[in-house]
Amino acid sequence: MRKKVSIIGAGMTGSTTAHWLAERELADIVLVDIVEGMPQGKALDLQEAMPVIGKDVTVTGANDYEPTADSDIVVITAGLPRKPGMSRDDLLATNAEIVGKVAEETIKRSPNAIYIVLTNPLDVMTYLTWKKTGLPANKVMGQAGILDSARMRAFVAMELGVSVENINCYVLGGHGDSMVPLTRHSNVAGVPLNKILPPDRLEAIVERTRKGGGEIVSLLKTGSAFYAPAAGIAQMVEAILKDKHLIVPAAVYMQGEYGLNDIYFGAPAQLGASGVEKVIEYELNEEEMAALKKSAEGVAANIAKLNL
Binding-site ranges for ligand APR (CB under 6 A)? 8-14, 32-35, 77-82, 91, 95, 98, 101-102, 118-120, 223-224, 226, 229
Distance, in Å, from the CA atom of 258 to the CA atom of 280, rounded to the nearest integer, reads: 10
CB of 155 to ligand APR, least distance (A): 20
Distance, in Å, from the CA atom of 149 to the CA atom of 82, rounded to the nearest integer, reads: 20
CB of 27 to ligand APR, least distance (A): 19
Distance, in Å, from the CA atom of 93 to the CA atom of 75, rounded to the nearest integer, reads: 20
Distance, in Å, from the CA atom of 294 to the CA atom of 307, rounded to the nearest integer, reads: 21
Instruction: Give, for 268, the enclosing helix (H) or strand (E).
Output: strand 261-272
Measured from the CB atom, the residue of 8 and 279 that comes closer to ligand APR is 8
Measured from the CB atom, the residue of 104 and 159 that comes closer to ligand APR is 104
The residues assigned a catalytic role are 175
CB of 110 to ligand APR, least distance (A): 15
Give the distance between the most distant pair of CA atoms in the chain: 55
CB of 225 to ligand APR, least distance (A): 7
Measured from the CB atom, the residue of 9 and 249 that comes closer to ligand APR is 9
Distance of CA 294 to the CA centre of its chain: 21
Q: Are 260 and 254 in contact (CB under 8 A)?
A: yes
In order, the DSSP letters of 141-192 are EE--HHHHHHHHHHHHHHHHT--GGGEEEEEES-SSTT-EEEEEEEEETTEE
Angstrom CA distances, 248 to 93, 258, 264, stand at 29, 17, 15
Distance, in Å, from the CA atom of 38 to the CA atom of 179, rounded to the nearest integer, reads: 34
CB of 8 to ligand APR, least distance (A): 5
Measured from the CB atom, the residue of 64 and 165 that comes closer to ligand APR is 64
CB of 190 to ligand APR, least distance (A): 32
Distance, in Å, from the CA atom of 254 to the CA atom of 268, rounded to the nearest integer, reads: 11
Measured from the CB atom, the residue of 185 and 210 that comes closer to ligand APR is 210
Q: Is 173 left (phi over 0), alpha (psi -120 to 50) or beta?
A: left
DSSP-assigned letter for residue 211: T
CB of 282 to ligand APR, least distance (A): 26
Measured from the CB atom, the residue of 20 and 226 that comes closer to ligand APR is 226
Measured from the CB atom, the residue of 187 and 209 that comes closer to ligand APR is 209
Of 200, 206, 213, 280, the closest CA to residue 246 belongs to 280
Spell out a b/e string for 201-231, using b for 16 or more CB atoms within 10 Å of the CB, else e. ebeebbebbbebbbebbeebeeebbbebbbb
